[in-house]
Amino acid sequence: ALGDVSGKGTAAALYGAVAIGIMRSLAPQKLQPAEMLREMNHVVGEQRIEGRFMTACFATWQKGRQKLRVANAGQSQPLLYKAGRCGKIELTGFPLGIFEEATYDEWGVTLDTGDILVFHSDGLAEASNSEGQFFGTERLRNLVEQRHGLTATELSDAILREVDLFTQSAPLSDDRTLVIVKVK
């Protein structure tokens, strides 16, 4: 799971902590991704804090079948490197806590050895340089394609290093969260 709460500071952190607690309380039900987001949206909606919402991407992995399922609630679209190409998993959805009856699409795929899944926050693609240009999803996609032979840890380090070089180590304006899964 990857999530991002609107706003900054203590209130946003508390809202995030509530969301983590909700997810942990739902986890024993072993819900599929779309159902997990629907249930989280319902509970987060009951705890509504004026003006607050959160984006989330949730996935499940069945190791024996090599099956990935993923659903998205307004988070940056994850990337999938498969068969030599890296592209977006085209899933969108309403953020949690905005519309009470929101539903979510779910996408599934069987993955092979060497396939890579990249979850990332908007702070990564929207990191900007001194000219105001964004790092962008295209650069991120290209990096994954060029460096797909690295381990998940090495690839995440390389991506974060490239973003830092691009921004010339400017102070962060948003979080940069990156989760990389590489199938063995």
Q: What is the pLDDT of residue 132?
A: 87
Instruction: Fill in the amino acid letter for 14.
Output: L
Q: What is the pLDDT of residue 10?
A: 85
115 Cα distance to chain centroid: 17
Q: What is the pLDDT of residue 14?
A: 84
Between the alpha carbon of residue 105 and those of residues 30, 92, 160, the distances in Å are 17, 8, 30
- Per-10-residue mean pLDDT of the chain, 184 residues long, equals 87 86 94 96 78 90 94 96 96 91 95 97 89 93 98 97 88 80 95
The Cα–Cα gap between 76 and 176 comes to 12
- This prediction has a pTM of 0.90
Q: What is the pLDDT of residue 49?
A: 65
Q: What is the pLDDT of residue 15?
A: 83
Q: What is the pLDDT of residue 7?
A: 81
The Cα–Cα gap between 49 and 53 comes to 8
